[in-house]
């Protein structure tokens, strides 16, 4: 089992920045691909980014590429998501997830463990 706890969400103005953190416990963090997703009310969960177990590989969808950066510190069992230039339509609950996949993946179905989420609200 893996327990994931997100933090760092909050209220930010349009164009602002936030840094989310995800602390993992319960099994070997360094083996897992880590991902970030978000879900707005009434919408499906959306992929935001993912990072390989050793941090050498990352993927982003076009909608966030250039504005978001995923990273990880395996010594601290922590993954991060730096978000810049936030837009009101990016208001959502942001989730951290862990996957036992061998490479970075974007599908929610490939992730085995999920955190409880942290709310990000972007005001216009």
71-80: list long-range contacts, CB under 8 Å, 24+ apart.
Answer: 72/34, 74/29, 74/30, 76/23, 77/23, 77/24, 77/25, 77/29, 78/21, 78/22, 78/23, 78/24, 79/21, 79/22, 79/24, 79/34, 79/36, 79/51, 80/19, 80/20, 80/21, 80/22
Give whole-number Cα distances, 27 to 16, 53, 112, in Å. 34, 13, 13
The reported pLDDT for the residue numbered 26 is 82
Is residue 1 over pLDDT 90? no
Confidence of residue 43 (pLDDT cuts 50, 70, 90): very high
Q: What is the largest CA-CA distance in the chain?
A: 41
pLDDT of 31 reads 83
* Rounded average pLDDT over 32-47: 96
Q: With 90 as the cut, is the pLDDT of residue 2 above it?
A: no
């Amino acid at each position: 089992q893996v327990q994931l706890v997100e933090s760092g969400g909050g209220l930010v103005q349009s164009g602002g920045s936030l840094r989310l953190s995800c602390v993992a416990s319960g099994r070997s963090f360094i083996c897992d691909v880590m991902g970030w997703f978000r879900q707005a009310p009434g919408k499906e969960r959306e992929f935001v980014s993912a990072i390989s177990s050793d941090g050498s590989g990352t993927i982003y969808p076009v909608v966030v590429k250039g504005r978001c950066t995923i990273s990880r510190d395996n010594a601290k069992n922590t993954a991060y998501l730096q978000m810049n230039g936030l837009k009101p339509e990016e208001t959502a609950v942001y989730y951290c997830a862990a996957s036992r996949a061998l490479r970075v993946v974007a599908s929610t179905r490939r992730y085995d463990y999920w955190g409880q989420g942290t709310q990000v609200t972007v005001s216009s």
